[in-house]
A and B are shown apart, each in its own frame.
Chain A
């Protein structure tokens, strides 16, 4: 079985604090713990506001609380960066278009460590 992070660590964090689902739901401004239970069981993904609220409650960044989601997002983005980079490298219109493509490629290389190939 592959070693990967769990989609979220809400239950682990909650159990560590000793809080019940109902108490966490109260902190989130809800009446019952049912919705939080759905997030814990990974049946649903919480909206951004709830994710940020969890960050405040448990004192862990969203990317750690939702480590599995974060990893899969990173993987998807890395794939798309490669595709975008390859598209930009193919732009051979010359002049302004090429300069702009080069600028984007250099940003991709700086920010995301994408290796530049043909145009550098």
Chain B
């Protein structure tokens, strides 16, 4: 592995209808982050998942791609597509289980909101997009996928440090 503080990774969280990403350069620096929808039939949401990921790979030339293990069939199909593309381009991939991610946030891993707050504390630039605590009758905020991706990235560096 090259010098860790320059090691660029693309951390992804694949959701059945969208994905979140965070580009890290080393464990303490984020370069870019965002959420992209893949559910729509018109405009930007019509662009297939593979193309959106490919654009990020071309833009940031990451040395590794880190993902959470998919837990639905649709996410699994999406992850398979990504892995196929990534292997063609000879980029290292690493899949982390949600348990492994939670382990890194020990003491603050009861729910996604807690993990997201821990991520925002570590990376204050993400504080402005931290979604409010989800109420039981609300659906998940679309920005939560960015924090899930960030958590995977943090877990990857914590494991490989």
Contacts and interface: CB of A to CB of B under 8 A. Distances in A.
A11 B34 CA distance: 13
Contact of A16 (B6, B60, B125): B125
Contacts of A15: 30-33, 125
Contact of A6 (B33, B60, B89): B60
Interface string A1-38: 10111100101100110100000000000000000000
B32 A3 contact: no
B86 to A, nearest CB: 11
Given A1-B90, A16-B125, A18-B128, A6 B7 contact: no
Interface residues of B, number: 21
Given A6-B31, A9-B31, A11-B32, A1 B61 contact: yes
A9 B8 CA distance: 13
Given A15-B125, A16-B125, A18-B128, A5 B32 contact: no
Interface string B134-151: 000000000000000000
Interface in B1-33: 2-3, 6-8, 25, 29-33
Nearest to A17: B125
A3 B7 CA distance: 7
A9 B25 CA distance: 11
Given A15-B125, A18-B125, A18-B128, A1 B91 contact: yes
Contacts of A11: 31-32
Interface secondary structure of A, over-half rule: loop
Nearest to A4: B61
A18 B6 CA distance: 23
Nearest to A11: B32
Contacts of B59: 41
B69 interface: no
12 contacts: A1-B90, A1-B91, A3-B2, A3-B63, A4-B61, A5-B6, A6-B60, A6-B61, A9-B31, A12-B25, A12-B31, A15-B32
Closest 8 pairs (CB-CB, A-B): A3-B2, A12-B31, A16-B125, A1-B63, A1-B91, A18-B128, A3-B6, A3-B63
Interface of B: 2-3, 6-8, 25, 29-33, 59-63, 89-91, 125, 128
Interface of A: 1, 3-6, 9, 11-12, 15-16, 18, 41
Given A1-B61, A12-B30, 12 more contacts: A3-B3, A3-B7, A3-B8, A6-B8, A6-B25, A6-B61, A11-B32, A12-B29, A12-B31, A12-B32, A15-B125, A18-B128
